[in-house]
């Protein structure tokens, strides 16, 4: 199995990344993701809803493509936004909007509970005792 340095979602196997989340991007969702990401990278101010959507679309994009570097980038965006005080809020509504606009669709490969393996690993190994 890969180490944490090459696999940001360890102990999940990289080939299992596409099974982690309940939704995947559509072609229009991919375009929207790239627009949001470009605006973020260029330092443009986004609304809370846009930051929520960037977080969601980024992880769907990175895991669907089995791309550890993009997962590391997604994690960095989340940490950076949290540090700036831009925390996840009203995420449910942002996700519903993505679904309603058909920017994301149900992931047929989704495996319920798989992501929990990663979060439990993180809790066990990185929380100060």
Q: List pLDDT tens digits, range 48-105.
A: 999 999 999 999 999 999 999 999 999 999 999 999 999 999 999 999 999 999 999 9
Q: Where are the alpha helices (DSSP H) in 16-113?
A: 27-41, 48-64, 68-83, 91-100
What tens digit of pLDDT does each residue of 4-30 get?
Answer: 678 999 999 999 999 999 999 999 999
Confidence at residue 1, expressed as pLDDT on a 0 to 100 scale: 43
Mean pLDDT score, 26-49: 97
Residue 3 has pLDDT above 60, yes or no: no
Best CA proximity match to 74, nearest among 13, 64, 120, 49? 64
Confidence at residue 122, expressed as pLDDT on a 0 to 100 scale: 87
Q: How would you label 34-65 residue by residue, b for 16+ Cβ within 10 Å and e otherwise?
A: eebbeebeeeeeeeeebbbbbbbbbbbbbbbe
What tens digit of pLDDT does each residue of 112-129 get?
Answer: 999 999 999 988 887 665
Query: Residue 11, preceding bond cis, omega within 30 degrees?
Result: yes
Confidence at residue 125, expressed as pLDDT on a 0 to 100 scale: 86
Mean pLDDT score, 34-41: 98
Residue 37 has pLDDT above 70, yes or no: yes
Confidence at residue 2, expressed as pLDDT on a 0 to 100 scale: 43
């Amino acid at each position: 199995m890969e180490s944490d340095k090459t696999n940001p979602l360890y102990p999940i196997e990289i080939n299992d990344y596409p099974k982690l989340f309940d939704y995947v991007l559509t072609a229009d969702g991919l375009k929207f993701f790239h627009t949001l990401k470009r605006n973020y990278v260029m330092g443009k101010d986004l609304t809370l809803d846009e930051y929520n959507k960037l977080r969601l679309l980024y992880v769907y994009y990175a895991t669907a493509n089995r791309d550890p570097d993009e997962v590391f980038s997604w994690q960095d965006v989340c940490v950076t936004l949290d540090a700036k005080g831009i925390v996840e809020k009203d995420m449910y509504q942002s996700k519903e909007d993505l679904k309603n606009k058909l920017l994301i669709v149900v992931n047929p490969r989704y495996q319920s509970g798989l992501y929990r393996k990663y979060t439990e690993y993180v809790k066990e190994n990185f929380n100060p005792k």
